[in-house]
Amino acid sequence: MKDYYNILGISKDASQSEIKKAYYKLAHKYHPDKGGDEKKFKEINEAYQVLSNKEKKNQYDRFGRVFEEADSRGGFDFGFGFNPFEAGPEEGSFGSLNLEDLFEEFFGSGRRRKRKTNRGRDIEVDIEMNLEDTLKGIKKTISLRKLISCSRCQGTGTEPGTKLKECFTCRGRGEVQQIKKTFFGSFTTYVICPECRGEGKIPEKSCNVCQGEGRISGEEKIEVFIPAGIDSNQIIEIKGKGEAGRRTEKPGDLYIRVFVRPHSVFQRKGDNLFLEIPISFSDACLGGEVEVITLERKKISLKIPQGTESGKVLRISGRGIPHFSGLGRGDLYIKLNIRTPKKLSKKQKELLEKLKSQGL
């Protein structure tokens, strides 16, 4: 049995937020498009699909598997890696298994299941950008290969001139009754209609292009606006730009995760920027001015106070990253490091000897 918690590197009491965070970190690391391990990536996705779903997670925590695996085999095969009619930890005991709960989970107590949606799949993509690009909002165009709405039938799945009709199998209900005979008797449950996949309708004549799906594999270019001040791991949601839904069902959504590349000079912490510059020994002692180039490539003059010690940090307000709210900017912090020359001229040595004799 696979240990999904171990696969994601989390504890069994991890919150949904922690599960999601662990998944995004590992998915980004092992994504095949980034040169990652495809087998590991699929394993990570499998673990996330179970642990991010409350019902599946409860089943996995209790039985080690989910009911979907048991249902796929048909019959009264519990599929949990044990036989509930055998003795548990103590003779005649079922351990922690509650048969009433088991019937509720497995048979649904004869209650109708929620209609399955054929909504399009959500898509998540990564975008990398430079630190300079966060200073103002920018537009990027991305090209996605995905399921798109069929242009011939306009997503209905029907050949032009025809229409959808009521499904004969389920009589438009989208589900069919299933009776299971077991040792305990017969149990009635409702499953998604295999003919119409829960929609209750089927095409009179299926579209020749999409074969009745209402969607085909294609490419779509999407223009994305990335607001100023965005930071790494922030997500931009674009409604309806995921994969097209089956026939007339709603499309999925597009989630764009942003990664800001590290800068060679500036370091970002929140909306503040940090920079280190060298200053001369004379400027540190007597004070002076140095020229600083900001992230937006503008030159500003920085005054150095008299008697500055190495490591002192000066702040310039409003020269950091714009706040994501659109109001104001962070600050620029400049650390001053006194530069010690490795080579001195004869004149410089003489002057330093004089200063040394004066106690400097």
User: HSE on the CB side for 324, CA within 13 Å?
Assistant: 9
In the chain, alpha helices (H): 4-8, 16-30, 38-51, 54-63, 67-71, 99-107, 281-286, 346-357
- Residue 78 CA to residue 81 CA, distance in Å, equals 8
Contact 299, 292 (CB under 8 A): yes
Residue 337: name the closest of 272, 284, 293 by CA: 284
Q: Binding site annotation covers 285?
A: no
Contact 153, 159 (CB under 8 A): yes
Which three-class secondary structure string do you get for 54-116? HHHHHHHHHHCCCHHHHHCCCCCCCCCCCCCCCCCCCCCCCCCCCHHHHHHHHHHHHCCCCCC
Name every residue whose Cβ is closer than 8 Å to that of residue 110 and which is 6 or more positions away in sequence. 187, 188, 189
- Alpha-carbon 66 to chain mean position: 24
Contact 204, 210 (CB under 8 A): no
Residue 129 sits at φ, ψ, to 5 deg, of -150, 160
Q: Binding site annotation covers 150?
A: yes
Q: Is 122 helix (H, G, I), strand (E, B) or coil?
A: coil
Q: Is 267 helix (H, G, I), strand (E, B) or coil?
A: strand
- Residue 54 CA to residue 56 CA, distance in Å, equals 6
Per the annotation, binding residues for Zn(2+) are: 150, 153, 167, 170, 193, 196, 207, 210
Per the annotation, binding residues are: 150, 153, 167, 170, 193, 196, 207, 210
